[in-house]
């Protein structure tokens, strides 16, 4: 369970590591990559007779493909390697891989063949890997379109061709892999935006390269080991004051449900006392579902809480803006979500006050909210999610999660993380409010800001994943259903940490 977090490198980082390793590498990195990919692909071929199609490109990714094709030929499999570029222009290692494939008795074909009567056993994309920076067009785009139509496991080497390695953007058209074997380390584009829809199941083959030893990573894929130090048993000699007080501010007319969802999540995740400050003058004074919550008018909440969240159902009224301005000035860990972010985006002076805060600040924008905060737009944010999250974090001196497929967590010191839990069923009303409640609960219980953000984001998605495995979702999953499952998962992690010497 508590495996180390995997490093993530953009293309520039991978290239730097390769440049340091390659001069003394025996066997070559290309030979290692092709062999490792072939070993990974074997499991996809169980009970699948028939030929293997390998589409090879003009660069080193094509060379990886020829190494894989040679290994399968030597193992007795029928392999068709398609290659339509000029061999004289191949990089030296790739040219050698082509020559070795020919020496094994193979000969590439110059056009993509039609599928045999029984279909392909496996389709391999070795066209471009991590090297592509422009939209695919012409023959290569046609090949990818045809490969995507094949009724067989579709296997990508390093990166699905047509997928931007650093951002996860599709460059015109991209290979839709069912499985990807990536080399040396994870890349951002496999994990965020369009990456998960095109990479399928991802396996990392490190090729006997200690990436972190050559270049310390700034990015990591989120795993519970990142917040393992906080998973400690509660002392028997404790009381509700030991686990913090939190306040959720929001609940404008017609939107009280958002604030109550956040408050319920904070309560169910173990906060000692939870206040919900509601702007709606007709708001209920008791939550019948959770009477343990203390409901108050928003301007009557105690200020001496352990952590504060503002935004769920806040609205953009003058009263909401005044409440936000007052909250920013409190010396408490502060979570800003939803309309608190929209109000902040419209107030540069308040942004400067926020950036000067001494207490931790945590922001949970979706791409449209991030675009407003950056005086940009959703498309610009989505074009490079890691860069956008880091810029927002640096500007506002805050810990930021840019929500979406492969949520990006950015720290003001330049470190970043990508979370892999969660699924499309979470695209429903109230999910962000529940995340805010989970997050402020961990802050109130003393979790450091970075670990609280990583833990809440990972837990939120993991709870939805568990519900989906149990048949609750993805279609029709509600935010309320996630709360109880999140509580169960957190308690399970605590028990496992305790069993393992926590």
Binding-site residue numbers for AMP are 403-407, 432
Total H helices, total E strands in the chain? 17, 17
Task: Say which residues have a Cβ less than 8 Å from residue 14's Cβ, sequence separation at least 6.
Answer: 130, 184, 185, 187
- In the annotated binding site for (6S)-NADPHX, the residues are 60-64, 129-135, 158, 258, 313, 366, 433
Q: Which residues are annotated as a binding site?
A: 60-64, 125, 129-135, 158, 161, 258, 313, 366, 403-407, 432-433
Query: Which residues pair with residue 296 across a beta bridge?
Result: 277
Structure tokens at 332: 């408490």
d(CA 440, CA 451): 12
Q: Tell me if residue 127 falls in helix, strand or coil.
A: coil
* Exposure of 238 in the CB half-sphere (CA atoms within 13 A): 13
d(CA 247, CA 294): 9
**Cα–Cα distance between 350 and 374 in angstroms, integer?**
14
* Rounded (5°) CA angle 248-251-256: 115
Cβ proximity of 293 and 265 under 8 Å: no
The distance from CA 458 to its chain's CA centroid, rounded to whole angstroms, is: 9
Q: What is the DSSP letter of 186?
A: B
SS (H, E, C) 412-456: CCCCEEECCCCCHHHCCCCHHHHHHHHHHHHHHCCCCHHHHHHHH
């Amino acid at each position: 369970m508590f495996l180390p977090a995997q490093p993530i490198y953009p293309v520039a980082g991978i290239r730097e590591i390769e440049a340091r390793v390659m001069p003394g590498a025996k066997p070559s990195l290309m030979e290692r990559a092709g062999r490792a990919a072939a070993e990974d692909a074997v499991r996809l071929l169980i009970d699948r007779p028939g030929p293997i199609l390998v589409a090879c490109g003009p660069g080193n990714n094509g060379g990886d493909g020829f190494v894989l094709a040679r290994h399968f030929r030597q193992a007795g499999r029928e392999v068709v390697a398609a290659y339509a570029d000029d061999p004289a222009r191949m990089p030296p290692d790739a040219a050698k891989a082509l020559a070795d494939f020919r020496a094994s008795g193979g000969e590439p074909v110059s056009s993509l063949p039609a599928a045999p009567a029984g279909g392909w056993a496996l389709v391999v994309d070795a066209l471009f890997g991590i090297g592509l920076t422009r939209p695919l067009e012409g023959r290569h785009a046609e090949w990818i379109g045809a490969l995507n139509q094949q009724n067989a496991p579709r296997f990508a080497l390093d990166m699905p061709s047509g997928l931007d390695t650093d951002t996860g953007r599709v460059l015109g058209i991209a290979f839709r892999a069912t499985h990807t074997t990536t080399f040396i380390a994870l890349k951002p584009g496999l994990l965020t935006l369009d990456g998960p829809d095109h990479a399928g199941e991802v396996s990392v083959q490190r090729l006997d390269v200690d990436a972190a030893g050559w270049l310390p990573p700034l990015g990591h894929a989120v795993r519970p080991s990142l917040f393992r130090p906080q998973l400690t048993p509660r002392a028997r000699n404790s009381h509700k004051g030991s686990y913090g007080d939190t306040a959720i501010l929001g609940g404008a007319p017609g939107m009280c449900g958002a604030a109550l969802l956040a408050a319920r999540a904070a309560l169910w995740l173990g906060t000692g006392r939870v206040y919900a400050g509601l702007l709606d003058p007709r708001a209920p004074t008791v939550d019948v579902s959770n009477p343990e919550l203390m409901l108050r008018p928003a301007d009557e909440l105690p200020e001496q809480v352990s952590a504060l969240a503002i935004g769920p159902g806040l609205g953009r009224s003058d009263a909401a803006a005044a409440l936000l301005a007052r909250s920013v000035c409190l010396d408490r860990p502060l979570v800003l979500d939803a309309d608190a972010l929209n109000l902040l985006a419209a107030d540069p002076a308040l942004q400067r006050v926020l950036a000067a805060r001494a207490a931790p600040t945590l922001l949970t924008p979706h791409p449209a909210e991030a675009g407003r905060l950056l005086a940009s737009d959703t498309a610009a944010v989505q074009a490079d999610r890691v860069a956008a999250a880091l810029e927002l974090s640096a500007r506002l001196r805050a810990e930021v999660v840019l929500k979406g497929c492969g949520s990006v967590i950015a720290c003001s010191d330049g470190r970043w993380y990508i979370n892999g839990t969660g699924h499309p069923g979470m695209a429903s009303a109230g999910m962000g409010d529940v995340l805010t409640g989970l997050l402020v609960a961990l802050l109130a219980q003393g979790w450091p800001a970075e670990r609280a953000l990583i833990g809440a984001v990972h837990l939120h998605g993991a709870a939805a994943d568990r519900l989906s495995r149990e048949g609750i979702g993805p279609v029709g999953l509600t935010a309320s259903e996630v709360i109880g499952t999140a509580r169960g998962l957190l308690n399970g992690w605590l028990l496992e940490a305790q069993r393992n010497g926590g």
